[in-house]
């Protein structure tokens, strides 16, 4: 798997037995994303699908919305002494006529859930930059049993997690529960960007009628990425943040948390959940 995993020597203690052996770890390296040659962002990621990650990041930033708006993505020379390529810097070139955003230190601060500036301004920013409305209740109607099956399907599709135990994952499902794509990364936001970026490269945006399933919690940032990609349903195995719930309520996103076994909490968009009819005689 190349740079996706690395080997390190560890001291292992099991039931009083002690030995040294090699352990497989998930790789983590910085990726600098440039836009038309200018530095835009740096993210810590698991190498792989770097072009898709960059494209998906720009979808969540409101810069890209279709494959026709992307000219190309290339690796740039890295900062090594001999000038060799580290494959840790990518440059995204927009198609002619696509507006280039003003790149400043204040740009789109709502994209980072830990920025300390999240709140009403964050919600307003997503509302004004989202290209595809998802507030209209779509024909998508999901049985609770279908949602309950998604975490196991996601886990079964994780290839690198089995070797390292240290990766987040994001998967894209149809409304019928068919797995379309799954990506892994040390950062769950990167895994989502890789999914969305691959969809953009295949000219599949918006992802109407699809379900985004993520490992871990549902942060504001992940809800934002779902809305920006036109995904109507976000499901997570853990808890959402309060701002993620606020964004889901304002945008029409169906947000499901604590999806474990047959249990789940629906925090917003419950109109897309096909609830069983009450038993006869019950009120």
Q: Mind telling me the catalytic residues?
A: 115
Task: Classify residue 102 by burial, with Cβ atoms within 10 Å: 0-12, 13-18, 19+.
Answer: exposed
Q: 153 near 179, Cβ under 8 Å?
A: yes
- Count CB atoms within 10 A of the CB of residue 39: 12
Question: In this structure, are strands 70-75 and 89-94 parallel, antiparallel, or unpaired?
Answer: antiparallel
Rounded to an integer, what distance in angstroms lies between the CA atom of residue 264 and that of residue 70?
A: 38
Q: What are φ and ψ of residue 91, in 5° steps?
A: -120, 125
Specify the 3-state DSSP secondary structure of 119: coil
Picking from 128, 103, 83, the residue whose alpha carbon sits closest to that of residue 37 is 103
Q: CA dist 48 to 18, 67, 72, 160, 273, Å?
A: 35, 20, 17, 12, 35
Residue 194 host element (H or E): helix 188-201
* Alpha-carbon span 89 to 118, nearest angstrom: 28
> Cα separation of 264 and 248, whole Å?
16
Helix (H) or strand (E) holding 161: helix 161-164
**Rounded-to-integer distance, Cα 94 and Cα 117, Å:** 29
């Amino acid at each position: 798997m190349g740079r996706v995993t690395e080997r390190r020597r560890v001291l292992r203690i099991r039931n009083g037995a002690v030995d040294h052996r090699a352990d497989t770890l998930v790789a983590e390296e910085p990726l600098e994303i440039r836009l038309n040659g200018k530095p835009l962002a740096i993210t810590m990621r698991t190498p792989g699908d770097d072009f898709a990650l960059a494209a998906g990041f720009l979808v969540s930033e409101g810069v890209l919305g279709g494959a026709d708006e992307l000219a190309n993505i290339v690796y740039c020379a890295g900062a090594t002494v001999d000038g060799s390529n580290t494959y840790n810097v990518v440059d995204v070139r927009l198609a002619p006529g696509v507006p280039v955003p003003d790149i400043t230190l204040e740009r789109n601060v709502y994209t980072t859930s830990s920025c300390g500036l999240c709140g009403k301004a964050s919600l307003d920013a997503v509302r004004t930059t989202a290209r595809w409305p998802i507030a209209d209740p779509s024909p998508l109607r999901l049985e609770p049993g279908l949602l309950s099956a998604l975490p196991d399907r996601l886990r079964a599709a994780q290839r690198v997690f089995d070797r390292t135990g240290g990766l987040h994952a994001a998967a894209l499902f149809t409304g019928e529960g068919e797995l379309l794509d799954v990506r892994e990364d040390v950062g769950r936001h990167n895994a989502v960007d890789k999914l969305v970026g691959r969809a953009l490269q295949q000219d599949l945006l918006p992802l109407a009628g699809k379900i985004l399933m993520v490992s871990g919690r549902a942060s504001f940032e992940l809800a934002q990425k779902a809305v920006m990609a036109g995904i109507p349903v976000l499901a997570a195995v853990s808890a959402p943040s309060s701002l993620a719930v606020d964004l889901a309520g304002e945008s029409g996103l169906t947000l499901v948390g604590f999806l474990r076994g047959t249990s789940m909490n629906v925090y917003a968009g419950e109109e897309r959940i096909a609830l069983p009819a009450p038993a006869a005689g019950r009120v």
